[in-house]
Amino acid sequence: MSNSTERNFVQTTNNDADVDATTPVADLTGRLEFSADRHLVKLGPLADIHLASMDGHQVAVKVMRDIGISETKRRALVQKMRTEMEIWSSLHHPNILPFEGYYFYSMGSSTDSLFSLVSPWMSNGTAVQYIHQHPEIDRLHIMYGVAEGLMYLHQHNIIHADLKESNIFINDQGCPVLADFGLSRLAKIDEILTFTTTSSTSTNANPGGTVRFMAPELSVLKDMALNIAEQQMSGLLDVSCWK
């Protein structure tokens, strides 16, 4: 998908998104400044985090990984990220990581770019990192802030689905903010990428989330889904053997 085609696709109104259609989403392309080495902070399975600056303050840029999928699948993936973008931009709460806008990350040519999401840089790191650096901090204050953020999401019919220490950051005011929420809204990404992982820390099979932090009943549902899939595959093999 070319730069202009992907840009037009992202900017098209998503009528399926359950968000406030009046919420403006800023195109920040051209406004961000990167260091010479692009300051890669974190690698992820679907996106990488880079540090940049905008209007004198630091921002985190979540760049969609160029994973070599077909244009059709890439288009579908961008659509799901656009849904996340529209949901994220509609949320405004002290305990939710603010959304700045989207950005097209240049790949070194005029036609190649990667769709990215931009948020303020959290210099205090995650809640766990912050507690280690400030052991005297009131942990109940952090827990209360997390609960407030979750309640706000639930009031907007959004389930975080992957709440864990690496998705809770501490802002400059010492308050916790939730990030990487709304996986339930992006569940169809698994159908697009059609791959799974055997890692003990995460899974790309529905229901999504990080195994270590998932509710036990979700694990049961996952086992049931795998059993059904195995039965269907067995049936297909049986049929093919008789052809």
Residue ranges per domain, the chain? Answer: 3-189, 196-242
- pTM, to two decimals: 0.70
CA 110 vs CA 3, 70, 79, 87, 104: distances in Å = 7, 20, 22, 29, 11
Q: How confident is the model at residue 142 (pLDDT cuts 50, 70, 90)?
A: very high
Is 162 catalytic? The answer is: yes
Q: How confident is the model at residue 65 (pLDDT cuts 50, 70, 90)?
A: confident
Most confidently predicted of 5-9, 13-17, 123-127: 123-127
Q: Helices marked H in 95-210 — which ranges?
A: 127-133, 139-155, 189-193
Q: How confident is the model at residue 198 (pLDDT cuts 50, 70, 90)?
A: very low
Tokens matching residue 173 = 């005011």
Cβ neighbours around 102 below 10 Å, total:
23
Enter the CATH code of domain 3-189. Answer: 1.10.510.10
**What pLDDT, in 10s, does the model give residues 147-159?**
999 999 888 888 8
Q: How confident is the model at residue 72 (pLDDT cuts 50, 70, 90)?
A: confident
Q: How confident is the model at residue 145 (pLDDT cuts 50, 70, 90)?
A: very high
d(CA 135, CA 223): 40
In 3D, which of 185, 50, 71, 190 has the Cα closest to residue 121?
50
Q: How confident is the model at residue 77 (pLDDT cuts 50, 70, 90)?
A: confident
Task: Summarize the confidence of residues 77-106 as an average pLDDT.
Answer: 85
- What 3 state SS string does 156-218 have? CCCCCCCCCHHHEEECCCCCEEECCCCHHHHCCHHHHHCCCCCCCCCECCCCCECHHHCCHHH
pLDDT of residue 108: 64
d(CA 33, CA 19): 30
Report percent pLDDT > 70 for the chain: 60
pLDDT of residue 94: 97
Tokens matching residue 85 = 């973008």
pLDDT exceeds cutoff 60 at 185: no
How much is the CA Rg of the chain, to the nearest whole Å? 20
Catalytic residue among 18, 20, 112, 162: 162
